[in-house]
Structures are given as C-alpha cells and as structure tokens.
Amino acid sequence: KNQVEQSPQSLIILEGKNCTLQCNYTVSPFSNLRWYKQDTGRGPVSLTIMTFSENTKSNGRYTATLDADTKQSSLHITASQLSDSASYICVVIESGGSYIPTFGRGTSLIVHP
C-alpha cells in the first residue's frame, strides 16, 4: 500500500528561525511530489511541485528537496514568520492516468514571537 510518512508530527519554533520538515514515501511508480500549506479552517494550498528529475524547488522562503532514489523529501522554511504557523502536508502522486494522490498526515508548525 502506498504510504507517505511525515516528521515531526508537530514543531514549535521562534520567529526568525529556520526549520526543516521531512517526508518519506513508498509510492511507486512515482510521478510527482507536492508540499501544501494548510491554514487552520482553510483548504490546503500548493507550495511546490517536483517531478522525478527535480532535486530542489523554491517558492519564496520555502525550499523543497527531493531524493527520488531514497524516496525522501524535505521542506525548508527560512526566516520563519508568524504567518507560517500552519499544517504542512506532503502529497505524492502515482504515475498513471487516475491521479490518485497519497497524503501524509501533515506537520503542525507553530511559530512563536
């Protein structure tokens, strides 16, 4: 069964600090991996999408990396802000036509002033 595991489950950091969130997956065959940000009470919003051939992708202060050989991804947040407080969800898409994504449970990030 396809699985996406995220760590840590929750994280508290001070404003201005950096942090890294981890994602391990077993989805195969692999198509692409996405990171979403979900604010409390809202739907998830896409941060990055990476295909097999991409090792890193940035979106402002968010940088995602992908190692397709070890089936690991990370999301690095630089100079955190209070507005970064949210749940960060890793999603892996299996290749093929049906586009059925497998979602991780998310990492809950709290940024304190």
Residues within the interface to another protein (CB under 8 A): 4, 31-32, 34, 41-46, 49, 51, 89, 93, 95, 98-106
Our CB check for another protein shows the closer of 9 and 70 to be: 9
Cα–Cα dist 10/109, whole Å = 6
Locate 80 and state its tokens: 């955190």
Our CB check for another protein shows the closer of 62 and 78 to be: 62
How many residues in the chain?
Answer: 113
Shortest CA distance to 4 belongs to which of 63, 72, 99?
72
Shortest distance, CB of residue 79 to another protein, whole angstroms?
Answer: 26
Shortest distance, CB of residue 1 to another protein, whole angstroms?
Answer: 10
Bond from prior residue into 101 cis (ω within 30 degrees of 0): no
Cα–Cα dist 21/75, whole Å = 5
Phi, psi for residue 82 in degrees, rounded to 5: -55, -35
Shortest distance, CB of residue 104 to another protein, whole angstroms?
Answer: 5
Our CB check for another protein shows the closer of 18 and 83 to be: 83
Our CB check for another protein shows the closer of 51 and 78 to be: 51
Shortest distance, CB of residue 15 to another protein, whole angstroms?
Answer: 27
